[in-house]
């Protein structure tokens, strides 16, 4: 492949962006992940996976060398950065040629979440979060602005315990947001370079895998078992609750797609659709009605979609 001056310029700029993303990612993954994904994805589609992997590994090496001094992170945290860069960049570029964009978001988010939780930075971030929350609540309890400081302290203990339990799913949300932003950037880079890659479907046509029901059922069973045998805070309860929290956004998306198909059918205007989705979001916060509808749609196929068809390449504003 003959390199043009524009190719050389782009490679240099995108490599620098990847190096910067490597340092940003441990602190702000929802910024670092999209930045690295676009840069490495473009390199992968233009020059192949090997150059993209090489740039990702060089970026991780720089984090390993300078991270302890510049950011105060440990040497092993560079392994998290390496995994995140490889998955978000060349991994996503490869996967978008073969799998739906929504599936890529799900699997890449889980892999990066696992790397974060295993790395020292995961435990340290949880510890810092608990220390900050405890200090804030203690200050509030002694400020004289609270009618019942004793009750606040009791609630604080429960809040800290709950934060520890749901920490894995909160990390998954954080990484999921990053990959939700990253995947369309990688897809756009591929299409701009003439590659056949998948992209997000129109919301009314989004249809997730029926296999989502299995972690949902497992989560409900584990929460029930943990509440019965572990006084509501045992290991079974924690695993079940995190399973439900991780799968819930996917079920919400499935439920919203049912409403989107209905709005399209009855030709609801853009403003009213936006208002309707906002109200559905508020409803889901109070009561998991939208996610329950998502489960129902997985079983009953309310929109009568021909399942098995690949819809991920359809235009998102269709």
Q: Which two tokens stand for residue 225?
A: 């078992």
> What is the pLDDT, as a whole number, of residue 188?
95
Question: Residue 28: which residues within 8 A CB-CB, separation 6 or more?
Answer: none
pLDDT of residue 45: 96
Domain boundaries, the chain: 1-200, 201-318
Tell me, what's the pLDDT at 185?
Answer: 96
The CA distance from 226 to 243, in Å, is 13
CA atoms of 57 and 34, how far apart (whole Å) = 17
Dist. CA 3–CA 290, nearest whole Å: 51
Q: pLDDT value at position 315?
A: 38
Residue 186 tokens read as 């990688």
- For the chain, list residues with pLDDT below 70: 1, 230-233, 308-318
Give the pLDDT confidence of 261-291 residue by residue, as tens digits: 999 999 999 999 999 999 999 999 988 999 9
DSSP state of 73: -
pLDDT of residue 91: 97
Q: How buried is residue 128: exposed, middle or buried, by Cβ count under 10 Å (0-12/13-18/19+)?
A: exposed
Structural contact between residues 97 and 56, judged by C-beta atoms closer than 8 angstroms: no
Task: Using the CB atoms, write b or e for 169-205: b if 16+ within 10 Å.
Answer: bbbbbbbbbbbbbbbbbbbebbeeeebebbbbbbbbb
**∠ CA(181), CA(169), CA(108), 5° rounding?**
40
Q: Which of 211, 234, 206, 212 is nearest to 222 (CA)?
A: 234
Residue 197 is predicted with a pLDDT of 95
Alpha helices in the chain (DSSP H): 5-24, 29-47, 49-70, 77-86, 92-95, 101-118, 120-141, 149-165, 167-192, 213-229, 235-265, 270-286, 289-300
At 135 the pLDDT is: 85
């Amino acid at each position: 492949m003959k390199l043009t001056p524009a190719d050389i310029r782009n490679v240099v700029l995108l490599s620098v962006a990847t190096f910067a993303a490597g340092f940003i990612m441990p602190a702000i993954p929802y910024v670092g992940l999209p930045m690295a994904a676009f840069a490495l994805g473009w390199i992968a589609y233009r020059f192949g996976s090997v150059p993209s992997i090489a740039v990702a590994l060089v970026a991780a090496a720089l984090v390993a060398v300078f991270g302890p001094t510049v950011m105060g992170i440990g040497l092993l945290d560079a392994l998290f950065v390496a995994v995140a860069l490889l998955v978000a960049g060349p991994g996503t570029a490869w996967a978008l040629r073969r799998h739906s964009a929504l599936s890529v978001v799900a699997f890449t988010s889980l892999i990066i979440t696992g790397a974060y939780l295993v790395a020292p930075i995961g435990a340290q971030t949880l510890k810092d979060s608990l220390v900050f929350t405890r200090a804030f609540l203690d200050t509030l309890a002694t400020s004289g602005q609270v009618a019942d400081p004793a009750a606040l302290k009791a609630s604080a203990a429960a809040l800290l315990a709950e934060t520890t339990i749901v920490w894995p799913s909160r990390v998954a949300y954080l990484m999921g947001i990053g990959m939700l932003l990253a995947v369309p950037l990688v897809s756009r880079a591929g299409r701009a370079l003439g590659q056949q890659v998948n992209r997000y479907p129109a919301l009314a046509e989004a249809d997730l895998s029926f296999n989502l029901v299995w972690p949902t059922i497992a989560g409900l069973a584990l929460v029930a078992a943990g509440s019965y045998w572990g006084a509501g805070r045992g290991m079974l309860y924690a695993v079940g609750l995190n399973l439900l929290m991780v799968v819930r956004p996917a079920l919400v998306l499935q439920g919203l797609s049912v409403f989107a198909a209905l709005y399209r059918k009855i030709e609801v205007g853009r403003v009213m659709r936006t208002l309707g989705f906002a109200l559905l979001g508020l409803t889901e916060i109070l009561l998991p009605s939208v996610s329950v509808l998502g489960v129902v749609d997985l079983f009953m196929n309310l929109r009568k979609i021909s399942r098995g068809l690949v819809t991920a390449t359809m235009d998102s504003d269709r």
